[in-house]
Structure 1
Amino acid sequence: MHLIDIGANLTHESFRPDFDAVLARARAHGVATMVVTGASAGGSRAALHLARTHPDLLHATAGVHPHHAIDYDDATDALLRELVADERIKAVGETGLDYHRNYSPQVAQIEAFERQLAIAADCGKPLFLHQRDAHADFMATMRQFSGRIGKAVVHCFTGTREELHDYLDAGWHIGITGWLCDERRGTHLRELVRDIPADRLMIETDAPYLLPRSVRPPPSHRRNEPMYLRHIVEELARDRGEPVEATAAATTATARAFFGIT
């Protein structure tokens, strides 16, 4: 089984003590490639550094998460434009809107989102998108760039059937995480994942967040890591009613095509 984790926050400080072991465990569990998420100016620079240091295993994205939108300025914009020129950067983002926590004012979130959509329009690379409790403004902002941007994936999808079909109707891809395995808040996804065409479906851990709650035996810690991607694809295959080998092969092929990973 050769899996691709399209979203792993491997620059997170929790991975510093055992980073090489994390990569080794991922490989041992069938994860052949990981895309390191860039979610801030410094984090995007660090993500690219990891991708350059481990070219056989890691790629990266470059962007500013809506939580950090208040910090987005001209220098940030210039840095992202510099970073996305590197071939190891496979997408613009993580970018989007998050009204669930509103760590940054909504006006600042929309402005930072628009500026990153402009970067994607200029460089032609795919978008790695985040949306939580902001669907209407998210769709309205994306519509402003209709015809100017290319491929997009709404990562860590947790939304409603209506939101899912809005994204699919727009031609976008969907990223599924261990949220699927959360019996408290993810059970609705077990039915919705059947609606996602195989060539638009990808998988991710969002490590170190969202450790799948259905892992057995449960680990003694709460840190997620890419090795658990295998558990996610097994759960996903069961919910889609297909062999795990088929789900694994399809999500890997889709990720390779989306990010241009050879």
Structure 2
Amino acid sequence: MQYNDLIDIGVNLTHARFNADRDAVIERATAAGVTGMILTGVNLAESESAVTLAETRPALMHATAGVHPHHADQWSSPAARSLQALIERPSVVAVGETGLDYNRDFSPRSDQRAAFAAQLEIAAASQLPVFLHQRDAEADFLAILREHRAALPAVVLHCFTGDRTLLEACLALDVHIGITGWVADDRRGAELRRCVPDIPLDRLMIETDAPFLLPRNLPEPPAKRRNEPGFLPHVLEAVAALRDESASHLVASTAATSRRFFRLPG
């Protein structure tokens, strides 16, 4: 089926794996019906690159700007000032990717918590939505988010891979949920698949997180197993099947929710 209004709320389009054919990737995405992409900023340099790339196609792309927990040891007062300058550019629609990752611990946990809280404060002051990451850090993640939630205009936990307990805690905090190709992975996505039908329609958005998390429901996986935004229909169809909804209805609802959340035109 051909779709005509898909919005990918999380794509790492500045990643080096796209350097050789980025323009072709973008063209394939639009041919697949993707009309909007939110480019993810994971550190200050990548955020700058994402913002700059988004500015080349403002009708199609916007960006987030932030420091991922993997890079939290780079957080500092100068980094905060640099982030503040970045989020003032018109293509930036959210602060992030920020949060906690206790699975890999690429940065000390104390640094992760400090950088997370500081970026939530910046988002609250600027009244921008936040684009969040959480892995194996549920208690600290929810505690920090609860402390700041009332001051934040909108929150999305991107690439949700949690269980029903985490979902219910997020919904109680009025958090939106981003679903990736993880949902099509029957090896490790069982808990997520059980949760998907219970996500309120007005809190649900879809994403590829490309070049990562290639959907396993692709009929012919690419040779190098690189995900790209043109594969977003496969995420959509997996979610629609689990919810027993039509794909066309889900396209319309996720697009409307994404535009409202990120304050996108149209």
With structure 1 as the length reference, what TM-score do the two structures score? Answer: 0.98
Q: Which residue of 2 aligns with 1:216?
A: 219
Query: How many residues are paired up?
Result: 262
Q: Which residue of 2 aligns with 1:29?
A: 32
User: In the TM superposition, what is the alpha-carbon distance from 1:150 to its structure 2 partner?
Assistant: 1.6
Q: Which residue of 1 aligns with 2:73?
A: 70
What amino acid is aligned across from residue 111 of structure 1 in structure 2?
Answer: A
Gaps of 5+ in 1: none
After superposition, the C-alpha distances for 1:224-253 in whole angstroms (9 at most, x for unaligned) are 000010111011101100100011111010
Q: Partners of 1:247 and 1:191 in 2: how far apart?
A: 18
* Stretches of 4+ aligned residues off by more than 6 angstroms: none
Q: Is the aligned partner of 1:260 residue 2:263?
A: yes
Q: Partners of 1:17 and 1:56 in 2: how far apart?
A: 23
Q: Partners of 1:146 and 1:261 in 2: how far apart?
A: 22
SS of the equivalent of 2:205 reads strand
Q: Partners of 2:90 and 2:198 in 1: how far apart?
A: 33
Q: Is the aligned partner of 1:141 residue 2:144?
A: yes
Q: Which residue of 2 aligns with 1:161?
A: 164
User: In the TM superposition, what is the alpha-carbon distance from 1:76 to its structure 2 partner?
Assistant: 1.0
Q: Is the aligned partner of 1:6 residue 2:5?
A: no
Superposed, 1:44-123 pairs within 5 Å as 44-123=47-126
SS of the equivalent of 1:185 reads coil
* Alignment match of 1:42 (pick from 39, 42, 45): 45
* Alignment match of 1:126 (pick from 106, 115, 129): 129
User: In the TM superposition, what is the alpha-carbon distance from 1:73 to its structure 2 partner?
Assistant: 1.1
Superposed, 1:141-220 pairs within 5 Å as 141-220=144-223
Q: Partners of 1:206 and 1:219 in 2: how far apart?
A: 16
Over 3 Å counting, the alpha-carbon distance change for 1:221 and 1:242 in structure 2 is same
- Does the aligned pair in 2 maintain the 1:38–1:62 contact within 8 Å? yes
Q: Partners of 2:42 and 2:48 in 1: how far apart?
A: 10
- Does the aligned pair in 1 maintain the 2:7–2:207 contact within 8 Å? yes
SS of the equivalent of 1:118 reads helix
- Does the aligned pair in 1 maintain the 2:65–2:86 contact within 8 Å? yes
What amino acid is aligned across from residue 250 of structure 2 in structure 1?
Answer: T
What amino acid is aligned across from residue 202 of structure 1 in structure 2?
Answer: M
User: In the TM superposition, what is the alpha-carbon distance from 1:191 to its structure 2 partner?
Assistant: 2.2
SS of the equivalent of 1:35 reads strand
After superposition, the C-alpha distances for 1:85-134 in whole angstroms (9 at most, x for unaligned) are 12210000000000000000000000000110110010000000000000
* Alignment match of 1:229 (pick from 228, 232, 250): 232
- Does the aligned pair in 1 maintain the 2:149–2:173 contact within 8 Å? no
Q: Partners of 2:14 and 2:183 in 1: how far apart?
A: 24
Q: Partners of 2:147 and 2:30 in 1: how far apart?
A: 41
- Does the aligned pair in 1 maintain the 2:41–2:65 contact within 8 Å? yes
SS of the equivalent of 2:35 reads strand
Q: Partners of 1:166 and 1:50 in 2: how far apart?
A: 35
Q: Partners of 2:110 and 2:194 in 1: how far apart?
A: 34
SS of the equivalent of 1:145 reads helix
What amino acid is aligned across from residue 60 of structure 1 in structure 2?
Answer: A
Q: CA RMSD in A?
A: 0.8
- Seq. identity, %: 52
Gaps of 5+ in 2: none
- Does the aligned pair in 2 maintain the 1:181–1:187 contact within 8 Å? no
- Does the aligned pair in 2 maintain the 1:92–1:120 contact within 8 Å? yes
What amino acid is aligned across from residue 6 of structure 1 in structure 2?
Answer: I
With structure 2 as the length reference, what TM-score do the two structures score? Answer: 0.97
